[in-house]
């Protein structure tokens, strides 16, 4: 029998997320209204679908390992150089590279307890030392607590999702700049901007901002390409070249490169998605008020609705599943009394609203 | 400035492969006859293309993180259980998991010098200790030398590609079984079967063979889905569950899952590809004989043709590139005097043959 490395031996068997396909097998349901994973209900750009469809017969060819065309287009979008960009198989992949390069065994990584769980998955997977601070009571990551913990414990990476997942909260640019500047000079800020395409570009950090900053972006959310697994890191040439030393050269699907490039060219479609998403959020806010529930104003494609206690929220989530509606819920306080529902199309929203009214009458 | 981990700091900046897209930029060529990466010239199954095309509008949905349907189909094909299978983003991805889980910093990994370079890339990337033995003079991996080195140096992983890349040689089942049994009991045999779909199934190992064996398979070669990035590991439940602890849950493109599943259902197409590939090999053998060059009989979709010295082979490769034909060459002796050309369609073969005749008249 071959022995695992010490680091991997210590990793527990966990699954950060149960997929809807498994829930369908378990419950025997043939389909679910998918509002659990913040997938875009508005789909990919039709132009991107057409470009991908045209390229499918060439799928016997590997994609360009350097993603040259896509990086050129991204460099233009972000007003930076192509070698300040690394394309990877989604944010999860890029996050793994960052943890592997800068945390590794024994170093500390710091994040907000209950935020996007894949960061913690990587830290534990690479043998890092986890350090967390709690959310503020309103569900915002607590920047002051993070700064204090960073000064005390010297983490190599401080992780922040902005807009945050699962709260949907957004930290304004001025506060974010102050946060970055207050962090120790030997800590990297890993800024997960998965939902930044739902925010006005003017409210985000300027291009090429800071050597200790790695920004992670994705085509999974506003661009509706979650299934394609494609995202990118924006950072200094030095950090990008470090990731390049250890990345999978051929890790990105060729068709995903094609779809991402065409999606960038279809800015009207992204704006349409952002507008539809805002309408969906407003409708969820009204529904929450109607049911006498509080909610968190979100800058993303999902909304947290509060049911008072974690067990009540869990019950609502399970009952919704019985009605064929799949949502998720945050795992840690103070957000664990909420369910988190993704922006749906009008018909998905109607199904969700009817199901939520039905299950809250009975269970809450 | 944030310090890299010691392991990553020691990793040199290397690129295992230069992609044809970069060569096209460098040489200003608008297209190349792609015979360099053992991509299938016969494309993906038309049925798979149709199924993927139909599913593209659903690409806003993540793929099933457990690949349940695909693993069921693979379990049926390989007569094993679904939990003896892990689906990943191609063999490179799965190989990385194996090195991370069993080699890591300080442990030794053993392979044949000059075989598929991504294994060595991972060993160095994860801080392992590289140990290599040379090919036999006929270009076959030297199983006796590997056994001897394994007994001496106690590697945690012994890597073998069968059929081998870049030689194309195939080690018969009986010899492979003897090799496996002669390895130390604390060494894992990582068997890269990327090209096994070109071999009769009866000549491969039986299902669920041995606890110390991890077999890596791909849809990139005979199934013509290299650009999709999808492959799988076959091993014991124990080894699969170890990989599952550290894998990217959402690492596989949804459309790749769809294409892989439909490809499995289109066995006539795979047989057609295998037959066409055999024709291509025979044509390359005849061409080599015509030019007075020796070659290696291959069980894969590529052939090595020998030009006597490494510098002659390099010159042939560069001159072919000027004729718009892209091939690669092995990097280490004794194979480095060869170019390696992938099986093309009849028209690609004609272009290659004309170009090779032209450049060998001049340069060799």
Helices then strands, each counted (H, E), chain A? 13, 11
Question: Which architecture, in CATH terms, is B17-43+268-363?
Answer: Alpha-Beta Complex (3.90)
> How does pLDDT run across A211-254, given as a tens digit for each residue?
999 999 999 999 999 999 999 999 999 999 999 999 999 999 99
d(CA A326, CA A355): 11
How far is A200 from A187, CA to CA, in rounded Å? 27
Determine the Cα angle at A6 with ends A5 and A9, to 5°.
85
> What is the mean pLDDT of the segment spanning A77-95?
97
> What 3-state class would DSSP assign to B87?
strand
Query: Nearest by CB to A241, which of B13, B107, B212?
Result: B13
Q: B227 contacts in A (CB within 8 Å)?
A: 58-63, 253-255
- Calculate Rg over the CA atoms of chain A: 20
Q: How confident is the model at residue B39 (pLDDT cuts 50, 70, 90)?
A: very high
DSSP 8-state class, residue A279? H
- Nearest-CA distance from A68 to chain B in Å? 8
Residues of B in contact with A63 (CB under 8 A): 227, 229
Q: Between A362 and B272, where is the model more confident?
A: B272
Residues 6+ apart with CB under 8 A from B51: B258, B259, B261, B262
Classify residue A214 by its DSSP letter. Answer: E
Q: Closest Cα partner for B138 from B360, B335, B358, B337?
A: B335
Q: Which of B263, B229, B248 is nearest to B89 (CA)?
A: B229
Q: For residue A132, what are the CA distances in angstroms to A127, A145, A332, B36?
A: 16, 9, 12, 48
pLDDT at A196 exceeding the cut of 90: yes
Could you count the other beta carbons within 10 Å of the beta carbon of residue B325?
Answer: 24
* B227:A6 CB<8 A: no
Q: Which residues of A touch B37 (CB under 8 A)?
A: 61-62
**Phi and psi, residue B86, nearest 5°:** -125, 125
b/e per residue A298-314 (b: at least 16 CB within 10 A): bbbbbbbbbbeebebbe
Which of the residues A12, A62, A63, A155 would you substitute to probe the B interface, choosing the one with the greatest number of B C-beta atoms within 10 Å? Answer: A62
Of B2, B40, B65, the CB nearest to A186: B2
Q: List, in sequence order, the alpha helices (H) in B42-142.
A: 46-55, 68-78, 91-102, 117-125
**Residues forming a β-bridge with A217:** A232
Write the DSSP assignment of B284-349 as a string of letters.
HHHHHHHTT--B---SSSEEEEE-SSHHHHHHHHHHHHHTTEE-B--SSTTGGGEEEEE---HHHH
Chain-chain contact of B3 with A34 (C-beta, under 8 angstroms): no
Query: What are the domain boundaries of chain B?
Result: 17-43+268-363, 46-265
pLDDT-based confidence at B362, cuts 50/70/90?
low
Describe the strand order of the beta sheet including B157-161 as a list of residue ranges: B85-88, B231-234, B213-218, B188-192, B157-161, B108-112, B129-133
Whether the per-residue pLDDT at A349 is higher than 50: the answer is yes
Task: Assign B364 a pLDDT band (cuts: 50, 70, 90).
Answer: very low
Q: What whole-number distance in Å separates Cα of residue A164 and Cα of residue B355? A: 57
Tell me: pLDDT of B73 over 80. yes
The Cα–Cα gap between B20 and B34 comes to 8
Query: Which CATH architecture is the domain A16-43+268-363 placed in?
Result: Alpha-Beta Complex (3.90)
Please state, in angstroms and as integers, the Cα–Cα distance from residue B125 to each residue in B6, B97, B117, following that order: 11, 12, 12
Flag whether residue A345 sits within 8 Å of chain B, measured between CB atoms.
Answer: no
Distance of alpha carbon A36 from alpha carbon A339, whole angstroms? 9
Sign of CA dihedral B179, B180, B183, B187: positive
Comparing CB atoms, the residue among B1, B212, B259 nearest residue A2 is: B212
Rounded alpha-carbon distances, angstroms, from residue B235 to A129, B69, B346: 31, 18, 38
**Residue A127: which of B318, B234, B87, B100 has the closest Cα?**
B100
First to last CA, chain B: 52
| Per-chain mean pLDDT for chain B | 96
Of residues B199, B235, B231, the one with CA closest to residue B218: B231
Task: Return d(Cα A270, Cα A351) in angstroms, integer.
Answer: 25
Instruction: Supply A194's token pair.
Output: 């998965």
- Say if A93 is an interface residue toward chain B (CB within 8 Å): yes
Which of A265, A270, A241 is CA-nearest to residue A81? Answer: A241
Q: Output the six-digit token pair for B309.
A: 């010295």
B37 touches chain A (CB under 8 A): yes
Q: Is A16-43+268-363's fold the same as A46-265's? A: no
What is the Cα–Cα distance from A298 to A219, expressed in whole angstroms? 19
Taking a C-beta distance cutoff of 8 angstroms, is the pair B139, B330 a contact?
Answer: no
Residue B154 · residue B123 · CB < 8 Å: no
Is this prediction's ipTM beyond 0.90?
A: yes
Domain at A46-265, CATH class: alpha beta
Distance between CA atoms of residues B147 and B152, nearest Å? 9
User: What sign has the CA pseudo-torsion B164, B330, B332, B230?
Assistant: negative
B307: how many CB neighbours lie within 10 A of its CB? 23
pLDDT at A15 (0 to 100): 81
- CB contact, 8 Å: A63 with chain B? yes
- The pLDDT tens digits for B166-192 are 999 999 999 999 999 999 999 999 999
Q: How far apart are CA A38 and CA A342, in angstroms?
A: 5
Q: If contacts are CB pairs under 8 Å, which of residues 218-257 in chain A contact chain B? A: 220, 224-229, 241-242, 244-246, 248-256
Q: Mind giving me the DSSP string for B187-238?
A: -EEEEE-TTGGGS-GGGSPPTT--TTEEEEEESSSTT--GGG--EEEE--HH
Tallying the residues shown for chain B, one arrives at: 364
Main-chain phi, psi angles of A255, to 5 degrees: -65, -30
Beta A157-161 vs A129-133: how paired, if at all?
A: unpaired
Cα distance between residue A308 and residue B259, in whole Å: 45
Q: From CA A62, how far away is CA A65, in angstroms rounded? A: 8
Mean pLDDT computed over A330-334: 95
Whether A52 contacts A43, CB under 8 Å:
no
B86-100 per-position pLDDT tens digit:
999 999 999 999 999
Quickly count: other Cβ atoms within 10 Å of residue B13's Cβ: 8
Distant-in-sequence, close-in-space partners of A190: CB < 8 Å, separation ≥ 6: A95, A98, A119, A157, A158, A159, A160, A214, A216
* Dihedral pair phi/psi, residue B195, rounded to 5°: -105, 15
At residue A364, the pLDDT reads 45
Identify the weakest region by mean pLDDT among A13-17, A309-313, B132-136: A13-17
Most distant CA atoms of chain B, gap in Å: 60
- Output the CA angle A145-A147-A148, nearest 5 degrees: 65
In the DSSP assignment, the letter for residue A157 is E
Q: Is the pLDDT of residue B80 over 90?
A: yes
- CA distance linking residue B249 with residue A107, whole number of Å: 24
Cα radius of gyration (chain B):
20
Q: What is the mean pLDDT of residues A196-200?
A: 97
Size of interface A-B (CB pairs under 8 A): 266
Q: Which pLDDT score is estimated for B1?
A: 80
């Amino acid at each position: 029998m071959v022995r695992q490395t010490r680091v991997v031996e210590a990793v527990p068997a966990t699954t950060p997320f149960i997929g809807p396909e498994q829930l369908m097998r378990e419950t025997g349901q043939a389909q679910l209204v998918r509002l659990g994973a913040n997938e875009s209900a508005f789909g990919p750009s039709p132009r991107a679908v057409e470009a991908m469809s045209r390229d499918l017969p060439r799928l016997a060819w590997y994609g360009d390992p350097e993603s040259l065309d896509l990086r050129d287009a991204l460099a233009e979008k972000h007003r930076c150089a192509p070698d300040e960009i690394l394309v990877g198989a989604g944010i999860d992949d890029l996050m793994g590279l960052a943890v592997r390069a800068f945390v590794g065994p024994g170093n500390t990584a710091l994040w907000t307890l209950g935020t996007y769980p894949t960061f913690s998955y990587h830290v534990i997977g690479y043998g890092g030392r986890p350090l967390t601070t709690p959310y503020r009571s309103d569900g915002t990551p607590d920047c002051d607590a993070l700064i204090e913990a960073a000064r005390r414990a010297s983490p190599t990476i401080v992780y922040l999702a902005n807009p945050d997942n699962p709260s949907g909260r957004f930290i304004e640019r001025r506060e974010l700049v102050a946060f970055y500047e207050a962090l120790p000079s030997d800590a990297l800020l890993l800024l997960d901007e998965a939902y930044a395409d739902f925010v006005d570009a003017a409210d985000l950090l300027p291009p090429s901002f800071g050597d200790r900053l790695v920004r992670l972006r994705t085509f999974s959310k506003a661009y509706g390409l979650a299934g394609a697994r494609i995202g990118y890191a924006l950072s200094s040439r030095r950090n990008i070249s470090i990731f390049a030393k250890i990345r999978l050269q051929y890790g990105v699907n060729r068709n995903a490169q094609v779809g991402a490039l065409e999606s960038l060219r279809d800015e009207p479609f992204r704006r349409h998605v952002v507008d539809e998403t805002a309408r969906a959020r407003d409708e969820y806010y009204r529904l929450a008020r109607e049911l006498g529930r509080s909610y968190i104003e979100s800058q993303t494609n999902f909304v947290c609705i509060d049911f008072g206690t974690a067990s009540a929220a869990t019950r609502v989530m399970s009952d919704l599943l019985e009605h064929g509606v799949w949502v998720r819920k945050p795992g840690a306080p103070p957000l664990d009394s909420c369910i988190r529902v993704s922006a749906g199309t009008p018909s998905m929203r109607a199904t969700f609203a009817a199901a939520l009214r039905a299950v809250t009458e009975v269970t809450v």
